[in-house]
């Protein structure tokens, strides 16, 4: 590399890297059409709508239990319930005085003897109370 | 809603601007200083209003008029102080650039044009992603916006959510973002997704503005724009920003600490830069737990560079001002950590587990391997290619002061990285999961500061490749 050629080479080099950076960001933008987080947004919106009526019934402060028979995304469903129902604290337990049921198949055979159905809000959202013995 | 958003977003920025304007010399005028001031103002403003809102919460849940009155009074006091200062004539000079040998010539339009094109694409990317996904990523709705809901919806019971019953939502994490979002909702009178999106946008692009303007002031315009291209050309940075993750504001506070300490080294007579740097470092500890690690790192690095750089006359005074700045914010963090937050999942219950993890060489190897592979996944190869010419020839800047300053910054980055390494060593979680879920974000926290430090000691590629007199 001679001294005379250097500025031209450097400018070409800078141009190439600037264009490449622009291309990277543009490609990232183009990839967004099939972005997986759009599905997550639908989950959040759906969860907010499903729990809206229940939110008005449960106490705003305090601990509420949570049970689910859904096999898919169990942890995420619990977290989405918490997000929708805050400031109530939602814990994965069937022994609280009030328990939120997040149902997919309508079957909760394991905890059934602990709880009694108080309200059914539709779309798989129910509220249980603790069964008195 | 947009009209209500203006005071919610505007008051923090205006408050921050008055604070920054009050601290920095009033002879600093012109576009580059304006961008620098507004970039510093936005983060400082959101940080301060967040601390003020949290203090109000701790003293008793404030009503909206009370909050407006407190924030309005703060902004007006700072404005009055600025007005009083503007009447006195300042003799403080504008900082002399550390890069005296600028290379001008035809084709100089390339870098500004490239920067603006990438900026445009990045802004479009951010907005497009935010429209598609206004709730953000998991951290946004699972942590920050969830605790914002506890604060906003909870009224006087706002502390209820900070319990280990919600351990998966990390209730011990500091509250800068959560309180900022809750405060914005309070102004709007309802929970609007626009508030966290606006805050994320401001932090994402203030970081870019700060990086570009600070290097423009300290070095030259080309160097600043080159840094901007490198950061905006990191797609994961824009993605994390649009996810409303706290790693972007944290990276902003790391960078602003470095920038202010860099300005301090350039103008050593005025210790106000150290004070502001301390506030920014303190705000990093109010953003995420990693900020606490950064506080220790920056203090250790500043102390070391004070001794090794031979800056023993003004150094101790600057260190005291840095500590004073930190002490302005840390009482809020201390109160939250001591009286409200439950214990942290990683550092609580250490004992024998930590010791056995320390003695396990396989963990060291796994962390190091993950660090290397995720670095290349996170940081685009083109950013490294962009910097390659700086290594050529005598790529390092001849400036002695900026070398010692940047060495201090690299030491702080190295200490912080070492801290992250230790956290991974002692983590009670599955190591592979912990690395996979967080390391790329930790690297991005440091990425803007790493670009800044590197370009501070580098010559511009054109200058680095131009033959020196001895070569010719």
φ, ψ of residue B313 to 5 degrees: the values are -85, -55
Q: Say yes or no for a CB contact (<8 Å) between B233 and A19.
A: no
Q: Is B100's pLDDT higher than 50?
A: no
Q: Is B103's pLDDT higher than 60?
A: no
Residue B97 has what pLDDT? 57
Segment B124-136, tens digit of pLDDT: 889 988 988 899 9
**Lowest-confidence segment of B185-189, B389-393, B410-414 by average pLDDT:** B389-393
Kindly list the residues from chain B whose CB atom is less than 8 angstroms away from the CB atom of residue A58.
none
The domain locations on chain A are 1-34, 41-130
Q: Is B58's pLDDT higher than 60?
A: yes
Segment B250-284, tens digit of pLDDT: 999 999 999 999 999 888 888 999 999 999 999 99
Q: Is B317's pLDDT higher than 80?
A: yes
Residue B275 has what pLDDT? 96
**Lowest-confidence segment of A70-74, B167-171, B202-206, B322-326 by average pLDDT:** A70-74
Cross-chain CB nearest to B386 (options A17, A41, A63): A17
- What pTM, to 2 d.p., does this model score? 0.91
Residue A21 has what pLDDT? 72
Confidence of residue B420 (pLDDT cuts 50, 70, 90): very high
Contacts of B433 (CB under 8 A, 6+ apart): none
Residue B428 has what pLDDT? 87
Q: Say yes or no for a CB contact (<8 Å) between B142 and A83.
A: yes
Kindly list the residues from chain B whose CB atom is less than 8 angstroms away from the CB atom of residue A87.
149-150, 153-154, 157-158, 160-161
Q: Say yes or no for a CB contact (<8 Å) between B150 and A61.
A: no
Q: Is B227's pLDDT higher than 70?
A: yes
Residue B393 has what pLDDT? 41
- The percentage of chain B sitting over the pLDDT mark of 90, rounded to a whole number, equals 57
**Lowest-confidence segment of B80-84, B143-147, B395-399, B434-438 by average pLDDT:** B395-399
Cross-chain CB nearest to B462 (options A7, A79, A89): A7
Question: Between A and B, how many residue pairs show a Cβ–Cβ distance under 8 A?
Answer: 141
Put simply, the chain A residues between 78 and 97 with a CB less than 8 A from any chain B CB are 79, 82-83, 86-87, 89, 91
Average pLDDT for chain A:
81
Q: Is B354's pLDDT higher than 80?
A: no
Residue B401 has what pLDDT? 62
Residue B94 has what pLDDT? 59
Determine the average pLDDT of the residues in B419-443: 92
Residue B469 has what pLDDT? 46
Cross-chain CB nearest to B146 (options A7, A62, A82): A82
Average pLDDT for chain B:
86
Q: Say yes or no for a CB contact (<8 Å) between B110 and A91.
A: no
Q: Is B396's pLDDT higher than 60?
A: no
Cross-chain CB nearest to A10 (options B128, B146, B389): B389
Q: How high is the ipTM of this complex? A: 0.86
Residue A109 has what pLDDT? 62
Confidence of residue B379 (pLDDT cuts 50, 70, 90): confident
In this complex, is the C-beta atom of A29 within 8 Å of any C-beta atom belonging to chain B?
A: yes
Residue B400 has what pLDDT? 61
């Amino acid at each position: 590399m001679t001294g005379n050629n250097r500025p031209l080479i450097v400018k070409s080099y800078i141009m190439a890297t600037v264009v490449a950076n622009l291309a990277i960001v543009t490609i990232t933008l183009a990839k967004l059409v099939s972005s997986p987080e759009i599905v997550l947004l639908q989950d959040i919106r759906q969860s907010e709508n499903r729990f809206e009526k229940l939110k008005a019934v449960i106490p705003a402060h305090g601990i509420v239990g949570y049970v689910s028979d859904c096999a898919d995304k169990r942890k995420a469903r619990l977290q989405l319930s918490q997000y929708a129902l805050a400031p109530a604290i939602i814990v994965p337990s069937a022994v609280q005085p009030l328990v939120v049921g997040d149902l997919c198949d309508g079957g909760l055979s394991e905890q059934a003897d602990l709880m009694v159905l108080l309200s059914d809000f539709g779309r798989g959202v129910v509220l249980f109370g603790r069964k008195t013995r | 809603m947009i009209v209500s958003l203006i005071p919610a977003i505007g008051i923090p920025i205006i408050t921050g601007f008055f604070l920054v304007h009050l601290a920095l010399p009033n002879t600093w005028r012109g576009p580059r200083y304006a961008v620098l001031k507004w970039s510093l103002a936005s983060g400082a403003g959101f940080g301060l209003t967040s601390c003020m809102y949290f203090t109000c919460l701790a003293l008793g849940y404030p009503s909206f008029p009370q909050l407006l009155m407190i924030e309005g009074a703060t902004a007006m006091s700072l404005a009055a102080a600025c007005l009083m200062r503007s009447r006195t004539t300042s003799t403080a000079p504008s900082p002399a650039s550390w890069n005296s040998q600028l290379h001008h010539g035809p084709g100089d339009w390339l870098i500004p044009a490239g920067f603006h094109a990438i900026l445009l694409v990045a802004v479009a990317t951010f907005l497009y992603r935010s429209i598609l996904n206004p709730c953000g990523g998991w951290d946004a709705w699972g942590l920050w916006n969830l605790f914002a809901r506890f604060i906003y919806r909870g009224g006087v019971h706002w502390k209820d959510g900070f319990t280990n019953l919600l351990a998966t939502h990390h209730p011990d994490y500091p509250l800068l973002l959560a309180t900022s979002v809750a405060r914005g909702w309070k102004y709007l009178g309802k929970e609007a997704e626009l508030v966290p999106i606006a805050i994320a946008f401001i932090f994402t692009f203030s970081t870019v503005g700060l990086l570009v303007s600070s290097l423009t002031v300290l070095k030259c315009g080309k160097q600043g724009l080159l840094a901007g291209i490198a950061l905006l050309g990191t797609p994961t940075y824009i993605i994390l920003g649009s996810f409303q993750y706290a790693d972007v504001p944290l990276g902003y506070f790391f960078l602003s600490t470095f920038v202010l300490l860099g300005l301090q080294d350039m103008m050593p007579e005025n210790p106000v830069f150290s004070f502001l740097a301390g506030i920014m470092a303190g705000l990093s500890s109010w953003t995420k737990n990693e900020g606490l690690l950064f506080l220790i790192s920056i203090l250790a690095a500043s102390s070391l560079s004070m001794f090794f750089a031979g800056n023993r006359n003004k150094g101790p005074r600057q260190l005291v001002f840095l500590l004073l700045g930190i002490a302005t914010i840390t009482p809020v963090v201390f109160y939250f950590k001591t009286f409200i937050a439950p214990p942290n999942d990683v550092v609580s219950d250490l004992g024998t587990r930590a010791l056995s993890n320390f003695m396990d060489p396989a963990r060291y190897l796994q962390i190091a391997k993950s660090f290397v592979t995720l670095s290349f996944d996170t940081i685009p190869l083109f950013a490294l290619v962009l910097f390659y010419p700086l290594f050529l020839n005598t790529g390092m800047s001849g400036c002695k002061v900026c070398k010692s300053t940047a060495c201090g910054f690299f030491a702080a980055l190295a200490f912080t990285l070492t801290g992250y390494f230790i956290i991974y060593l002692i983590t009670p979680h599955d190591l592979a999961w912990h690395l996979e879920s967080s390391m790329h974000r930790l690297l991005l926290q440091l990425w803007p500061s790493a670009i800044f430090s590197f370009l501070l000691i580098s010559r511009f590629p054109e200058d680095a490749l131009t033959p020196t007199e001895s070569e010719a």
